[in-house]
Structure 1
Amino acid sequence: MADQEVDYSTLPITERVVHKIWKVRLAAYEEITKQFTTSGSENDPCFRPFLSDPTLYKKIVTDSNVAAQEAGIGSLVAFLQYGGTNACQRLRGTVVAPLAEKGLVSMRGGTKQKTVDALLYFIELDTPDPVVEEILPILSNKLPKLVAGTTMALREIIKAFGTKTVPPKSILKALPKLFAHSDKNVRAEATTLAIELYKWMGDPLKTILLTDLKPVQQKELEEAFEAVKGTTPQQERFLLSQQRAAASAAASSGPDAGDSAAPEAEEIDPMDLIEAVDVSGKIPGDFFERMASAKWKDRKEAVDDLLKVVSVAKIADADFGEVMRVLGKCVAKDANVAVVTTAANSIEALAKGLRTSCGRYRASVSSSLFERLKEKKQSVSEALSAALDALFEATSLSDFMEEILSFTKHKNPQVKQETAMFLVRCLRTVKIIPKTAEIKQLCDACTVLLADTAKPVRSAGAEAMGTIMKMIGERAMTPYISELDDIRKTMITEFYETATVVAKPEKVAAPPPPAPAAKTSSASSRSATARPRPSVAGVKRPTATPPSSGSHSTSSAPAASSSSSSGSRLAAPGSRTSRIGMSNGLRKKTEDSSATASPRTVSRAPAATSGTPPRGSRGLTGVSLSSSNSTSSHGGLSAADKLELIELRRAKEEWTSTNAALKQQVEILQADNAKLDRELKEAQASNSQLIEEHTRDLLSVQSKETQITRLRREADSAVAQVTKLQRELDRARAEAQLVGRPSSSHSNGAADHHDMKESSMSPYQARQSTTAFSEEEKENDFQRIQTPAAKRESMYSGGSHIPKQTSFSPVMSSNSDGADSGSSNAGTVESWKRAAEVTSQLKARIEAMKAKQLRR
């Protein structure tokens, strides 16, 4: 009961909006909403507490009570609606993010709708970029309901303001992530957002979005896009700046045009929303080598790899001059149509990706594409035409004028037909009507096509003429078709009725407003009756003495008559008047008027006669033609006019000299260009020769490496064979020693030392050592044959008699069976002879192998 008796309305509004009792907050929200609605201006005191402390509204929009929250967000809408731009800018950075996070997930439909209305007001009162930047991070939230609500709010923003006012670049980046979300409601909201974007952006959205989606999603979006294709959305809400611009335009156009005036935003190219990809570093390093290969499969693989690299929506600008030159050469000279088709596709992809940056490479490929249009295979012709169309989109019709006029005179009928069809496609898509001189050149070329012997060529020429007529109109086309026969006129008219063009006349800048007329004094106006108009430049004016102050009075009737005869008479020293360049009729009329009019009447004639320029009139230079007080009364040029004439002559001389200098520079540049072209051709020829030489060198090196590998294998085999023969020699030597006599300790030690020495040597050193050792052994073998006999003689010198012929047997003491000593000695000698022969044969074979290896 105590709480019900407390009157909270006496508390300050800043305390009630943050009160702990939700009913008190609800009443406070309703009260401030009423105050905002009934406020007199943006500077009303009811706005001040919330402008000075924006965190109050942060607490209001995040109220824990759903009813109070809805009322609080409604008060925010009223605050923005009546508080103006200042209210928007003060609260935007503090309130937008909490408002979206708490309001877009509410179960109450009113709260969600008021949240969207508040966001739209935040955009309308200033600019959309800060609001969108505050909302986009919420799309990464883990709560699917909040992500779906934020996507819905973005769709409502695009629907209300359009992509011309709200740049969709940052939204497009977030769309693939929304389509990959696990929650179906998020994906559904992403689909509706994509459809709304497609209404504003059209087909370019497919290029941006569909490549990152799954095939099923691509199919669904394609069907949804087809359902809304052709609809033209209208901007429902306008920024405050746009509203003011529309109001000022309506005020300047008058009350009748006020309703029709609507703010127009600057057109946004959807391709500007795509991130450029740097593909220059992804081109294969051996691309140019493979393109120069003699095998068509290598060239096909090279252009296939290039096409995969450059097939992106937007390419970062880099130096593709060499790549385009190679592709142009391939299109012009390659004999394989598959390689030509892929090269044309690569040119198309580069032109579409680089867009206007590809214009500087057009000249290196356009002529090759036109020349190759003679191919009869439809797939090749379509690829070449698509490449030409992509190049035209990157340049203009004026850039292709030379090629079009040249190839419409080609000797091949198919080239002429395809060139004319390319011209038709250009005329259908060009946005500005070509110049009159270009129209005449095109019409002359098409007129020649109308007389061609091939029917497709005549039809293409007539279609081009009909498209031109649709562009410039029937009346402007009359001089170009007036001399044609009725049959050709009928063909042109048929194509004219079905042609579609979008070209408009080039906008001409409005001329500057005329300068205000120079004011003259009353004395000048009074003396204007006696002052003739200045003489035309180039007519020599005779000098005259200045007349007296009463020269305009009634002293002479001819003089007065001269002053009223449209300034055709000039003062001369010998007479009051003189006639210069007057026709016979005008002279007669002047004489009649001077004979009938009295001097007094003529002297009082008005100054502004038919021949005298009115006051304030200006000549071609903008200088007033009415004379000032300083002008002489005899009609000479004023000082200012003389100075101006001198300045004009000086400017003309400067322009003439500058023009001559420019012509000289152009001639020099043309000569330099021709020289550079020759040097380029020489460099290209030299480069081709160097490439061929390099290829031959590579083949030669590979052949040498193969020979070296084979020789190394043969050398290893020879070394193995030598080692085998050495082992056989050692075995034969050992057998020979066993047959001759038991080896002494000295000989055994020497042999062991020799074997150890050979084992530590290299194969070549071992062969040399073996050769030397074999010669030494050969000499020592005969000594060993004689040495045992001498030893035996000294051994048995004590009295035992042994036949002398038995002293030659080295194994006499071991023959227990008493074999014949002569036969044993003969066998030993034969064994040593065979050993010597084997040794000599081995030595000869080793020398032959060494000589063979050295020759290799």
Structure 2
Amino acid sequence: MADQEEDYSSLPLQDRATHKIWKVRLAAYEEMTKQFTTSASENDPCFRLFLNDPTLFKKIVTDSNVAAQEAGIASLVACLQYGGPNACQRLRGTVITPLAEKGMVSMRAGTRQKTIDALLYFIELDTPDPVVEELIPILSNKLPKLVAGTIIALREIVKSFGTKTVGPKSIVKALPKLFAHPDKNVRAEATNLTVELYRWMGDALKTGLVPDLKPVQQKELEEEFEKMKGSVPQQERFLHSQQQAAAQGNSLGGGAVEQEDEDEIDPMDFIEAVDVFGKIPGDFYERMGSVKWKDRKEAVDDLFKVVSVPKVADADFTELTRVLAKCIAKDANVAVVTVAANCVEALAKGLRAGFAKYKNTVFTSLLERLKEKKQSVSEALGAALDAVFESTTFSETLEEVLEFMKHKNPQIKQETTIFLVRCLRTVKIIPKQSEIKQMCEASTALLADTAKPVRSAAAEAMGTIMKMIGERAMTPYIDGLDDIRKNMIKEFFETATVKAKPEKAPPPTTVAPKAAARVPSGAPRPRSSAVGVKRPTSTTPNTSSGRPAPGSEPQAPPAPAHSRLAQPGARTSRVGTGSISAPRKKDDHSSSPRATSTSGTPPRSISSRGLTGVSLSTSASSSTSHSGLSAAEKAELAELRRAREDWVTSTAALKQQVDTLQADNLKLSQTIAELQVNNKQLIEDHTRDVLAVKAKETQLARARTEADDTRAQIGRLQRDLEIAKAAAAAAAASGASTTVPRADEIVARDLNDGISNVSPATRTKSESILAEEEKENGFSAPSMSRSAGVHVSRSTSRAGSFSPISTGTVDTSDIGSGNAGSVESWRRAAEVTSQLKARIEAMKARQIRR
């Protein structure tokens, strides 16, 4: 009881806010809220203690007592509400995370609501990004209740400020993980958050989220999205910077709605870019230079698989687009052209605005290839043209489109005009009047074309333009046409759909009103001192004419004559300084006799424009100095115009130079590819020639070896023949009865010995050579040529003796007695010998010829 009755109010506020008794802390929090609420300004001393030590509020929002915690978070809300942006910036980094972790899981609904209010104030007083960045990591917490509470806080943030103020990219990226959470409450709150995002983002949310969800979840979301269609969200709270801008005269509500109408959320912002440049096959360019269409088809197929991603990371695709453009323009195989056009389409859609720098490389090639009549090719080329157009502006593509609408090929004229119609349907700003005139003239010329599809496409283009600018504005372009063509144009006009709107004028903040606002401020300018000076009554006309009386307010409307004279002054005020515009308007007005005669009164000043009511003599005396200043301004304006013309000329020359360099680079690339193909062919031819030379050298070496063996054999045969002759002569002289070998036997034996020492390959070659020599020398006795060679040796080896006449030996007694058989045997030996000599001579002659 003593503790309860003890008075702690004498303690410093900081000590009470951190006291161990929760009631003391509660009272301190309530006192803090009261001080913040009754503070005189954002710089009041009551804020200083907590802003110098942000950890105090960290302890307050994490109070262990639920009642004290609620009061502490309420004091934080009051501190932010009355402390302004300074309090937000000093407390944000320390307080947000513990506030969300402890406040969003509280059992008290009031504590949870005050936590959300504090988070909203943190966003309103500065910027939403730091708060969202602090909340996103909490979505990965293991406590389902905390995750669900954080999702609720994010939903309230989006609902209050909208996706134009709060960037939804990080929130959308976290949604797939929340839909996969095991806790049903988390998944339910994730659905509520997604529906709220859909209210602001529309179908753009589906691109980055729906494909990653389960089919059941996709179906549930589609049903919820159908309920939200048609609802227009409104921003409920505005940032401090937006409030300051609105305080200058803009309406918060109207400005928010107008911004919502103008800006559209890009679905690509929620998709990560993929680096496809490093994934292009290394041999792609080599295969694209192949003479085989299948190799080129496989190359573009592989490339299409790489570039078929929703978003492509920017890189240098100059060489790739040139190769694709060359393939589209010159490849003879339509299948290769179709896939190449698909690659261009995928690359343009992935890069979007980043593809604009490659537009000049591929656009002309696509238009030239529209001559193909095959539907699949035309559709692929048309889709590629549409994707390239989306990456650029209408004005950048119009010149080439109009040029190809004059092409001599009817198919190209038709498809180009149809492409122009598609561009007119999707463009968001109405083209310039000069561009509309060019399109109408080109389409009117095509209305008289001999091909009916071309005339129909031209009529559709005219009808779409009429839908865009209106029937009245289109009258001058169709006035000279016959009724049939007018009816065709009006039919397409009734069915055409366009999105283009007039280009909005710049903000109505002109120089003249600002100058008028500065006049009453008392700036020491002699010319502005005459503003509001009353004129003598003698020079003042009757007020019944509708003009202001003398001394009236400066905002009174001027007379018509004065309004005409005010236009040059207003234009001068934007070119030069405001101090010289008023006298110039006065001089022009006073020196115009026509104005004087028309109004019937002397010129009067227009206070809102800074004109004075001085006499003509005064204006005449000062006209010299003012006219000099006007000449200087004109000279400066002329100088600026010349500089602009020089810049335009240099830009055009630079563009032409860049185009020339690109064309030269393309030619060099083509030359390099051709040289590579030729070099490859030369290497193959050289390799084939080297192999042929080596084969010839091997054959020559073998022939030389065989020739050497043949020479050695011939020498042995000659020696054996001489020995046989000597032996026969000696046997005949001695008359001995001993058996001596016959000459043909000796020769056959020597032939057999010589041939047995030769390799089979050489022996076969020798036999063929001998057969050829027999034919050349006219020998027609095959029994002699063969028996004297190989067949003789074979028979000798089998029987142990040799004789071409089937006799083994020669008896010397038969020789001595003059036996007829012996004489016949010697005659045959002589014939064999003569034949062998002839063959030897023929072989020598053949060797000499070689």
TMscore range, shorter length: 0.5 to 0.7
Q: What is the match of residue 501 of structure 1? A: 499
Q: 2:355: which partner in 1? A: 358
User: Does structure 2 retain, via aligned residues, the 8 Å contact 1:520–1:628?
Assistant: no
Per-residue deviation at 1:624?
A: 13
What residue number does 1:599 align with? none
| Alignment partner, residue 113 of structure 1 | 113
1:373 and 2:402 correspond: no
Q: CA deviation at 1:239?
A: 0.9
- 1:294–1:109 distance in 2 versus 1, CA, 3 Å: farther
* Equivalent residue number for residue 847 of structure 2: none
Say if 2:89 is the partner of 1:89.
Answer: yes
Counterpart in the other structure of 1:554: none
Whole-Å separation in 1 of the counterparts to 2:647 and 2:83: 63
Q: Alpha-carbon deviation of 1:331? A: 2.1
Residue 439 (structure 2) pairs with residue 442 (structure 1): yes
CA distance in 2, matches of 1:365, 1:176: 38
Query: Match for 2:370: what amino acid?
Result: L
Kept after mapping to 1: 8 A contact 2:604/2:613: no
- Alignment match, 1:839: 757
2:379 matched residue in structure 1:
382
1:444 deviation in Å?
Answer: 1.6
1:320 alignment partner in structure 2: 317
* Corresponding residue to 1:641 among 627, 645, 668: 627
Distance 1:379 1:220 in 2: 37
Which one of 383, 392, 409 corresponds to residue 406 of structure 2? 409
1:689 aligns with 2:688: no
CA 1:456–1:699: 2 relative to 1, 3 Å: same
Alignment of 1:170-181 (within 5 A): 170-181=170-181
* Aligned-partner residue type, residue 318 of structure 1: A
Displacement after TM superposition at 1:98 (Å): 0.4
Cα distance in 2 for residues equivalent to 1:207 and 1:504: 29
1:31-58 C-alpha deviation (Å, 9 max, x unpaired): 4445544555445555444334322221
Structure 2 CA distance for partners of 1:478 and 1:6, relative to 1, 3 Å = same
Identity %: 61
Question: What is the CA-CA distance between 1:330 and the residue it aligns to?
Answer: 2.1
Quote how far apart the aligned CAs of 1:96 are.
0.4
1:482 corresponds, among 479, 483, 489, to: 479
AA aligned opposite 2:682: D
> Which amino acid in structure 2 is aligned with residue 384 of structure 1?
L
Is the alpha carbon distance of 1:835 and 1:112 closer, same or farther for their aligned partners in structure 2, counting shifts above 3 Å?
A: farther
Secondary structure class of the residue paired with 1:386: helix
Instruction: Report if aligned partners of 1:567, 1:612 keep a CA contact under 8 Å in 2.
Output: no
| Counterpart mapping for 1:107-506 below 5 A | 107-210=107-210, 224-225=224-225, 228-250=228-250, 260=254, 267=263, 269=266, 271-272=268-269, 274-452=271-449, 455-498=452-495, 499-506=497-504
Cα deviation, residue 238, structure 1: 1.0
TM-score, scaled relative to structure 2: 0.66
CA shift at 1:449, angstroms?
3.5
- SS of residue in 2 equivalent to 1:312: coil
Q: CA deviation at 1:487?
A: 4.2
Kindly indicate whether the alpha-carbon contact (under 8 Å) linking 2:604 and 2:612 is maintained by their aligned counterparts in 1. no
**Is the 1:104–1:150 contact (alpha carbons within 8 Å) kept by the matching residues of 2?**
yes
Q: Is the 8 A contact 1:470 1:501 kept in 2?
A: no
Q: Relative to structure 1, is the Cα distance of residues 639 and 108 closer, same or farther in structure 2, using a 3 angstrom cutoff?
A: closer
Given that 1:616 and 1:625 are in contact with CA atoms closer than 8 Å, whether structure 2 keeps it comes out as: no
For 1:196 and 1:660, how far apart are their aligned partners in 2? 52
Q: What does residue 16 of structure 2 align with?
A: 16
Encode CA deviations 1:89-136: one digit per residue, 9 max, x unaligned: 222111101011112233433332322221111111111122122222
Shift of 1:391: 1.2
Distance 1:625 1:718, change over 3 A: farther
State the shift of 1:441 in Å.
Answer: 1.0
CA distance in 1, matches of 2:24, 2:48: 21
Contact kept? 2:235, 2:256, Cα under 8 Å: no
Classify 1:677/1:316 alpha carbon distance in 2 versus 1 (closer, same or farther; 3 Å).
closer
Partner Cα distance (2:417, 2:599) in 1: 60
Evaluate the alpha carbon distance shift between residue 227 and residue 391 of structure 1 in structure 2; reply closer, same or farther with a 3 A threshold.
farther
Q: Give, in angstroms, the shift of residue 4 of structure 1.
A: 3.5
How far apart, CA to CA, are the structure 1 residues paired with 2:370 and 2:503?
Answer: 32
The residue aligned with 2:796 is none
Take 2:650 and 2:656, find their aligned partners in 1: how far apart are those partners? 10
Question: Does structure 2 retain, via aligned residues, the 8 Å contact 1:310–1:349?
Answer: yes
Opposite residue 205 of structure 1, the aligned amino acid is L
C-alpha offsets along residues 3-62 of structure 1, whole Å, 9 cap, x if unaligned?
443344554443333332334434443444455445554455554443343222211211
SS at match of 2:396: helix
Say if 2:430 and 2:500, in contact at 8 Å, map to a contact too.
no
Q: What is the identity, as a one-letter code, of the residue corresponding to 2:57?
A: Y
Question: How many matched pairs?
Answer: 674
Unaligned runs of 5+ in 1: 251-256, 530-565, 570-581, 583-605, 722-766, 783-819, 849-856
Evaluate the alpha carbon distance shift between residue 705 and residue 156 of structure 1 in structure 2; reply closer, same or farther with a 3 A threshold.
farther
The residue type equivalent to 2:133 in the other structure is: E
CA distance in 2, matches of 1:718, 1:178: 84
SS at match of 2:234: coil
Q: Which of 681, 685, 702 is the equivalent residue of 1:700?
A: 685
- Choose 412-421 or 438-447, whichever is displaced more: 412-421
Do 2:459 and 2:492's aligned partners in 1 also have CA atoms closer than 8 Å? yes
The offset of 1:150, in angstroms, is 2.2
Question: C-alpha root-mean-square deviation of aligned residues, in Å?
Answer: 5.2
Encode CA deviations 1:509-554: one digit per residue, 9 max, x unaligned: 7653287894799xxx99xx9xxxxxxxxxxxxxxxxxxxxxxxxx
CA contact (8 A) 2:234 2:257 kept: no
Pair 308,453 (structure 1): closer, same or farther in 2 beyond 3 Å? same
Q: Which residue of 2 aligns with 1:67?
A: 67
2 CA distance for matches of 1:100 and 1:476?
60
What is the CA distance between 1:699 and its match in structure 2? 4.1
Give the deviation of 1:248 after TM superposition. Answer: 1.9
For the Cα contact (< 8 Å) 1:165–1:265, is it kept in 2? no
The question of whether the paired residues in 1 share the 8 Å contact of 2:173 and 2:270 is answered with no
Q: Call closer, same or farther: CA 1:637–1:199 in 2, change over 3 Å.
A: closer
Shift of 1:692: 3.2
Q: 1:93 to 1:647 in 2, by over 3 A?
A: closer
Shift of residue 65, structure 1, vs aligned partner: 2.6
SS in 1 for 2:511: coil
SS at match of 1:365: helix
TM-score of the aligned structures, taking structure 1 as reference length: 0.66
Task: State whether residues 424 and 498 of structure 2, in contact with CA within 8 Å, keep that contact through their aligned partners in structure 1.
Answer: no
Aligned mates of 1:648, 1:37 — CA distance in 2: 60
Give unpaired runs (5+ residues) of structure 2: 517-525, 540-589, 721-737, 767-850
Aligned pairs for 1:601-640 (under 5 A) are 638=624
SS in 2 for 1:513: helix
Return the alpha-carbon distance in structure 1 between the equivalents of residues 605 and 69 of structure 2.
Answer: 75
Aligned-partner Cα distance in 1 for 2:248–2:746: 137
Instruction: Give the drift of 1:211.
Output: 5.5
User: Post-superposition shift, 1:440?
Assistant: 0.7
In 2 relative to 1, CA 488–221 (structure 1 residues): closer, same or farther, beyond 3 Å? same
Change (3 A) 1:103 1:455: farther
Taking the aligned partners of 2:107 and 2:382, their CA distance within structure 1 comes to: 57
C-alpha displacement at 1:680, in angstroms?
A: 5.3
